[in-house]
Structure 1
Amino acid sequence: MSTPPVAPSWPYCAHGADPATDPVGCPGIHVPGHTACLAHLSDAERGAYMAGLTPGAEVDHRGTTFTASLLTALLNALRDPSTGHARLGLAWFDSAIFEGDADFESVSFEDDARFMSAIFKSHAEFDSAIFKSHAGFMSATFEGAAKFMLATFGGFGRFRSAIFKSRAEFDLAIFKDTAGFESATFESRAEFISAVFEGAADFTSATFEDDVKFWSAAFEHEAGFESTVFQRGAGFKLATFKGDASFESATFVNAVQVGPLACAGLLVLSGAVFGGPVTLSFAARRLECRRTRWSSTAEIRLRYATVDFAHAVFEYPLTIAAEPDPFVFTGGRQLSEDLFANAPDPGVRMASLRGVDAAHLVLADLDLSGCLFAGTVHLDQLRLEGACTFDTAPPTVHWRRWPPVRFTARRVLAEEHHWRASQPGAARGWNVAVLGAGRAGPLQLAPVYRALRKAFEDGKHEPGAADFYYGEMEMRRHADDIPHSERGLLTAYWALSGYGLRASRSLAWLGAAMIATVVLLMAFGLAQDAPKQTATGTVPAGGGKITFDIDKGDPHNPTGDRFSGVRFEKALNVTLNSVVFRSSGQDLTTAGTYIEMTSRLTEPVLLGLAVLAIRNRIKR
């Protein structure tokens, strides 16, 4: 059952009304001084009305049905002899129906142009038209091609809820104020090639059922594509955004490539859904991809950007890589990077991977110094390619207490920086967490370091794995949930050798142990003089066999000058043999024997830790 027509709010023509079938009839507004619309005036009345029009006059033909010839006659009456183009003042065409081609080419609208709910049943041509004030096409329907090439919109260009059933062309159009295409539907191809949006561009909830091309379009203010649906190609090649660009919750069903484009502000893809294989190429200050969903393989190639990828969902390989050179379009045309003239570093920084399943994630040539990893799943399967860099520990000496603390250089997670900076009496050089970074402590960071260590080991990057092993042990040593005995062992392991990774520390302890051994041996361990062997026995009467007992006297504790060159040489010989777990054969006092035993136990261990540390730093 069809909905009965609703009578318009203006005085209408009512031509052809039938109380039974069509109580409204023609909804066209009365021509001033008449009781019929322009389409239903007599020829004489219509001619008299048009003869009274002058260029720039106000016209009101709401609800009127126009044939191509009727529209041409109206525009001829408003044609400016000096330019040869029609010139209209305030123009009312709301709910008008254009049955033939609607040719408004090069027409100048001096005041508001209102085409709300108008229906264009054939081609609508507004090429080179000039809208000096607001242009309203809200809820308009374009059943044929809609052409606005080279059109200029001096005020608002409103196309909210408009329906373009055929091709829509806005190539080289200029929107000097807000361009509003909210909830518009483009059922065929839409082109905005080289269009200029000087005001905000609003395509919120628009639907592009066919390819859309914004090639080389310039967005000089904010651009909104929130909840927009791109059923096929989303062409933004060489497009530039001077302000923020938001594609939040947009849907890219079959887009193969998006970009390359440049955005000087924040580029938002949070909540966006990608239905097929896609390559994104962006040069942007900041890229936000929180909660994005990827249903197929994808590659994101970036320049200059800081990327927030928290809670993104993907089940297929996804690569995020820094592009070393400016993007080049087919034919050799290069994406302009004038928007980044004050940012000479084209490097890409990862801000967050929290909540991501990294099993299929590949990162290439990214700066991970500020990346938040706590909460990332399957981090041990993360693939790092190229020159992925992390933050480092501050090299400064901390004098808060004695002995002073110096942090040796190693790869450090941003979250360890945040945790250490939050501790009472924190050393200078640790970075404070920014607002919204959250707080992760040693208990949360230990498994993160462990997983990254495995990822580096699988990638045959042993020095990197060693740094993350050090970080894991540091977090375990500072965690509150481990027993004091285990924490004591870890502290000793750290102090002696830096968890088997600091050769200099092990060698320093080995040198100190050797010096202590030499001093103790010279003071207490070496006998005063080497005991001489003596032979005692008995000679039986009458001759015969002689029996001797050979023995050596007990070493005498040293007296006198114990620190002589000779004793130093002997003590050094004993110590060096102890390092390689050998006995020197020197005559030692009882105290010296225990000193040698202790030396033979501790010094080889320290030497082994030093060798292990060197191996871990140079192994590939």
Structure 2
Amino acid sequence: MDWVTCTHSAACTGIARRPYGLCLPHLHPDDLTATLAEMTPGRLLDLRGTVLGGDLLTRVVEANGRRPGRTRLDRVRFTGDVRLAEMTFAGDVSLDGAVFERLASFFGSRFEGNVSLAGARFARELSFHGVEVRGHLSLDRAVMARDALFSQAGFGHGMSCERARFDGFATFDGARLGDGATFRGARFGRTLSFRKVRGGVLFEAAHFAADAYLSVTGRLSAARARADGTLDVSVSDGGADLRRLEVVGATTLRLADARADLEGAVLRGPATVTGRGRSALISLRQVDAPSLALHGLDLSACGFAGLVHPAGVRLKECRFGLSARGMREGVRTPVRRWLSRRSAPADDLLPEQAVSRAE
């Protein structure tokens, strides 16, 4: 710890208040009143290592006019409900290693700077619904034991949740990610709802232990991710990197003016990829998918080499860059012969011998 701790006992880690040498909860009532009276809106609030109950937290918030400046609450233990709704934090906020034993709600609050909750632990629900963070939000290695709500929130410089654990239901519906979000190595224990999100997002090596619904405008990466349930992905005006993705349940991928790479993916359940506008598949190389339906996609640059179950692939209204003679330019003979025998690819079964040799 890089602060002078309370002299009340060796076990107390709360920052000592001058000139008393005691942390806020251990001050004499008169000294506590005097200390709170010295607090001013927009000024530094430093309560590192302190144990804060609900009543004391309320008094601190009111003493700061619900508008603290730079706020340092590292390793604070909140023993009561934390209700900091509709507040404005005028400076950077640090809650690294903080413990929230009950509800933690920042509903509708505004953070003018960066917010760090790295390593924080939430025993109950966490709400960032409607929050606006002008800077960057970090939840790296944080543990959320119950539901986590980030819907309609805005993050000007993005957010980072690397190796974070979401044990309850998590929703980011309608969030605006600014510079993008990273969930590399994160684990989602229950359903994840990530619908109508704007901004790039990385779920590389993430683990979806239940169903996951991802809908993004921008770029999305779930490379090396694992989904134990249903995975439903929609990407608009960007791209989807799904290389080496593994899905146990059903997979649905919808593209709108977007490109996707599925190289090395393992899709154990039924899988469907559909496209609108200028949507394309870049690669199906080494894909292991017993049942894969492709609809409305540009496959002119798609590689098929090493496709494990070519007989399980079905095509409908896909484009192969056909020449005037109805054959794809640059495709090897077996696929050209297969294409030339059909006037349209709708609902045709891709022959194993043809696809296994295509590139």
Give the TM-score normalised by the residue count of structure 2.
Answer: 0.87
Alignment of structure 1 residues 493-508 onto 2, 5 Å? none
The reply to whether residue 293 of structure 1 matches residue 238 of structure 2 is no
- Residue of structure 2 in register with 1:389 after alignment: 319
The reply to whether residue 409 of structure 1 matches residue 325 of structure 2 is yes
Name the CA shift for 1:353/1:58 in 2 (closer, same or farther; >3 Å).
closer
Residue 380 of structure 1, CA deviation: 4.0
Q: Deviations over 1:306-331 (max 9, x none)?
A: 111111112332111125xxxxxxxx
- Residue of structure 1 in register with 2:293 after alignment: 362
Separation in 2, partners of 1:245, 1:318 = 22
- Residue of structure 1 in register with 2:157 after alignment: 199
Alignment of structure 1 residues 365-376 onto 2, 5 Å? 365-376=296-307
Separation in 1, partners of 2:189, 2:53 = 34
Q: Deviations over 1:85-110 (max 9, x none)?
A: x34xxxxxxxxxxxxxxxxxxx2122
The reply to whether residue 247 of structure 1 matches residue 189 of structure 2 is no
Whether the 8 Å contact between 1:267 and 1:284 is mirrored in structure 2 is no
SS of equivalent residue, structure 1 residue 45: helix
Separation in 2, partners of 1:269, 1:25 = 44
Whether the 8 Å contact between 1:152 and 1:173 is mirrored in structure 2 is yes
AA matched with 1:356: V
Which is richer in strand?
2
% identity of equivalent residues: 26
Residue 248 of structure 1, CA deviation: 1.3
Which is richer in helix?
1
Separation in 2, partners of 1:381, 1:53 = 68
Separation in 1, partners of 2:98, 2:173 = 25
Residue 157 of structure 1, CA deviation: 1.0
- Residue of structure 2 in register with 1:189 after alignment: 147
The structure with more radius of gyration: 1
Q: Deviations over 1:525-555 (max 9, x none)?
A: xxxxxxxxxxxxxxxxxxxxxxxxxxxxxxx
Name the CA shift for 1:136/1:463 in 2 (closer, same or farther; >3 Å).
same
Separation in 2, partners of 1:74, 1:359 = 60
Name the CA shift for 1:371/1:34 in 2 (closer, same or farther; >3 Å).
same
SS of equivalent residue, structure 2 residue 195: coil
Separation in 2, partners of 1:59, 1:135 = 9
SS of equivalent residue, structure 1 residue 238: strand
Residue among 255, 262, 268 paired with 2:216: 262
Separation in 1, partners of 2:57, 2:313 = 65
The reply to whether residue 229 of structure 1 matches residue 145 of structure 2 is no
Whether the 8 Å contact between 2:46 and 2:73 is mirrored in structure 1 is no
Separation in 2, partners of 1:56, 1:297 = 51
- Residue of structure 2 in register with 1:210 after alignment: 168
Alignment of structure 1 residues 319-468 onto 2, 5 Å? 319-322=272-275, 346-385=277-316, 387-393=317-323, 409-412=325-328, 416=330, 445-446=332-333, 449=335, 453=338, 462-463=342-343
Name the CA shift for 1:121/1:391 in 2 (closer, same or farther; >3 Å).
same
AA matched with 2:137: A
Name the CA shift for 1:185/1:392 in 2 (closer, same or farther; >3 Å).
same
Separation in 2, partners of 1:52, 1:384 = 71
Separation in 2, partners of 1:218, 1:51 = 38
Q: Gaps spanning 5+ residues in structure 2: where?
A: none
The reply to whether residue 66 of structure 1 matches residue 52 of structure 2 is yes
Q: Gaps spanning 5+ residues in structure 1: where?
A: 1-7, 18-23, 79-85, 88-106, 324-345, 394-407, 418-444, 476-620
Whether the 8 Å contact between 1:203 and 1:226 is mirrored in structure 2 is yes
Residue among 216, 227, 235 paired with 1:274: 227
Separation in 1, partners of 2:305, 2:333 = 10
Name the CA shift for 1:462/1:170 in 2 (closer, same or farther; >3 Å).
same
Name the CA shift for 1:372/1:51 in 2 (closer, same or farther; >3 Å).
closer
Separation in 1, partners of 2:206, 2:11 = 42
Name the CA shift for 1:229/1:48 in 2 (closer, same or farther; >3 Å).
closer
